[in-house]
């Protein structure tokens, strides 16, 4: 009988190992499709919000800059953080400003989004603020942002006033609207050179 019990134990261990393996593979097979079902804007095999984007941003009458944006999907990261993160570069006249990007899709399809643009450094100039935009579901983003003005001391200034006679509100910090088109990884890598 001792000889017969050893093969049974080996079979049980083998069966348990196969069962655990099947549960792991099955769990992964459920997690990703569920993720894409709940966040169709990040599903593979069709156009999605995440990826590379490029376009021109007009900061003023004679100040047009190139912008490249890279968005990645962070849904399911497990830390209750933003759904989207990535980076951006804005270039003009041989100068480049890098940003850390993070935020969320504000609707189920991801056709509306709100992204924070955290700049590196505090040099004087105009910088991107909160990026609020729409995605056309294919190859275009329309984005608006209120530019942030940083003075030579590294301090942000914005003055908003309302004319009591006309009721018109004005700001010394312009709000701009621009469009980005789908781009490639190489476009992002070579921008601002």
pLDDT band at 69 (very low <50, low <70, confident <90, very high): very high
Instruction: Note whether 64 and 27 are same-domain residues.
Output: no
Instruction: Note whether 107 and 183 are same-domain residues.
Output: yes
Do the Cβ atoms of 165 and 174 come closer than 8 Å?
A: no
pLDDT band at 30 (very low <50, low <70, confident <90, very high): low
Q: Is the pLDDT of residue 26 over 60?
A: no
Which residues touch 95 (CB under 8 Å, ≥6 apart)? 192
Question: For residue 47, what pLDDT is reported?
Answer: 78
Distance in angstroms (rounded) separating the CA atoms of residues 125 and 63: 12
Question: For residue 28, what pLDDT is reported?
Answer: 59
Question: For residue 113, what pLDDT is reported?
Answer: 95
Question: For residue 9, what pLDDT is reported?
Answer: 59
- Give the range of the structural domain holding residue 125, as residue numbers without chain letter: 47-190
Q: What share of the chain is helix, strand, coil (3-state, %, to 5)?
A: 25, 45, 35
Instruction: Note whether 115 and 97 are same-domain residues.
Output: yes
Instruction: Note whether 181 and 153 are same-domain residues.
Output: yes
Instruction: Note whether 87 and 172 are same-domain residues.
Output: yes
For residue 24, give the 3-state DSSP assignment.
helix
Query: Mean pLDDT throughout 6-29?
Result: 62
Token pair belonging to 166 = 């006309």
Question: For residue 43, what pLDDT is reported?
Answer: 72
Instruction: Note whether 86 and 150 are same-domain residues.
Output: yes
Instruction: Note whether 116 and 54 are same-domain residues.
Output: yes
How many domains are contained in the chain? 2
Distance in angstroms (rounded) separating the CA atoms of residues 12 and 97: 61
Distance in angstroms (rounded) separating the CA atoms of residues 135 and 182: 11
More confident residue, 60 or 160: 60
Question: For residue 51, what pLDDT is reported?
Answer: 93
Instruction: Note whether 99 and 144 are same-domain residues.
Output: yes
Q: Using alpha carbons, select from 82, 138, 136, 67 the residue that is nearest to residue 114.
A: 82
More confident residue, 11 or 183: 183
Instruction: Note whether 140 and 110 are same-domain residues.
Output: yes
pTM value is: 0.75
Q: Is the pLDDT of residue 7 over 60?
A: no
Instruction: Note whether 117 and 159 are same-domain residues.
Output: yes
């Amino acid at each position: 009988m001792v000889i017969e019990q050893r093969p049974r134990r080996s079979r049980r261990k083998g069966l348990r190992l196969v069962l655990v393996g099947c549960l792991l593979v099955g769990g992964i097979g459920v997690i990703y499709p569920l993720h894409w079902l709940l966040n169709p804007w990040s599903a593979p095999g069709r156009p999605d919000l995440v990826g590379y984007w490029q376009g021109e941003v007009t900061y003023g009458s004679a100040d047009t800059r190139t912008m490249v944006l890279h968005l990645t999907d962070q849904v399911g990261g497990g830390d209750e953080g933003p759904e989207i993160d990535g980076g951006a570069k804005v270039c003009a006249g041989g100068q480049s400003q890098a940003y850390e990007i993070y935020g969320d899709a504000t609707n189920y399809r991801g056709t509306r989004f709100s992204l924070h643009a955290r700049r590196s450094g505090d040099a004087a100039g105009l910088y991107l603020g909160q990026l609020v935009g729409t995605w056309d579901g294919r190859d275009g983003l329309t984005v608006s942002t209120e530019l942030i003005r940083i003075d030579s001391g590294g301090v942000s200034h914005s003055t908003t006033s309302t004319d009591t006679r006309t009721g018109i509100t004005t700001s010394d910090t312009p709000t701009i609207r621009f469009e980005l088109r789908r781009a490639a990884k190489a476009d992002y890598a070579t921008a601002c050179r």
